[in-house]
Chains A and B, each alone.
Chain A
Amino acid sequence: MAEKFKVELVTPRGIVLDRMVDGVIAPGVMGEFGVLIGHTPMLTFIKPGIFSYLESDRFVKYVVGAGFCEVLKDTVTVLVEEAHSVDSIDKNEASEELVMLERQLLEINALENSAEYERILNRVKVVKAKISLAGGN
Chain B
Amino acid sequence: MASLRDIRKRIASVKNTQKITKAMKMVAAAKLRRAEEAIKAGRPFSEKMREVMMSLAARTHAHQMLESRPPQKALLILVTAERGLCGAFNTNLQRRAEAFIKEMKAKSVQVDLLTVGRKGNDYFRRRQVTIVEKFNNVMNTISYDLAGQIVSTVTEKFLAGEYQEVYVVYNSFRSAVTQVITLRKLLPIVPDEEGSKPRQAYLYEPSEEELLEELLPKYVQVQVFTGLLDSVASEHGARMSAMEAATTNAGEMINKLTLKLNRKRQESITTELMEIVGGAEALKG
Contacts and interface: CB of A to CB of B under 8 A. Distances in A.
Interface extent on B, as a size class? 20 to 34
A43 interface: yes
Contact of B52 (A13, A30, A79): A79
Interface stretch (B179-187, B198-206, B262-270): B198-206
Nearest to A12: B45
Contacts of A15: 44
A40 B205 CA distance: 12
A41 B202 contact: yes
A12 B211 CA distance: 20
Contacts of B251: none
A41 B208 CA distance: 13
Contact of A43 (B49, B51, B205): B205
A117 interface: no
Contacts, number: 65
Given A13-B41, A14-B41, A44 B49 contact: no
B202 A10 contact: no
A118 to B, nearest CB: 12
A29 B205 contact: yes
B42 interface: yes
B95 interface: no
B202 A43 contact: yes
Contacts of B200: 40-41, 73
Main secondary structure of the interface of B (DSSP, over half): helix
Nearest to A14: B41
A72 B203 CA distance: 10
Interface string A33-53: 000000011111100000000
Given A68-B215, A77-B52, A79-B52, A43 B204 contact: yes
Contacts of B201: 41
B222 to A, nearest CB: 8
Interface in A12-32: 12-15, 28-30
Interface string B190-228: 000000000111111110000100110000001000000
19 contacts: A8-B48, A10-B44, A10-B48, A12-B144, A14-B41, A14-B45, A30-B206, A41-B199, A41-B203, A43-B202, A43-B205, A43-B211, A44-B204, A68-B211, A70-B55, A72-B55, A77-B48, A77-B51, A79-B49
Shortest 8 CB-CB contacts between residues of A and residues of B: A44-B205, A42-B203, A14-B41, A12-B45, A13-B41, A70-B52, A15-B44, A41-B200
Interface of A: 8, 10-15, 28-30, 40-45, 68, 70, 72-73, 77, 79
Given A12-B144, A41-B202, A42-B204, 18 more contacts: A10-B44, A12-B41, A12-B45, A13-B42, A13-B45, A30-B205, A40-B200, A41-B199, A42-B202, A42-B205, A43-B204, A44-B204, A45-B214, A70-B52, A72-B55, A73-B200, A77-B48, A79-B48
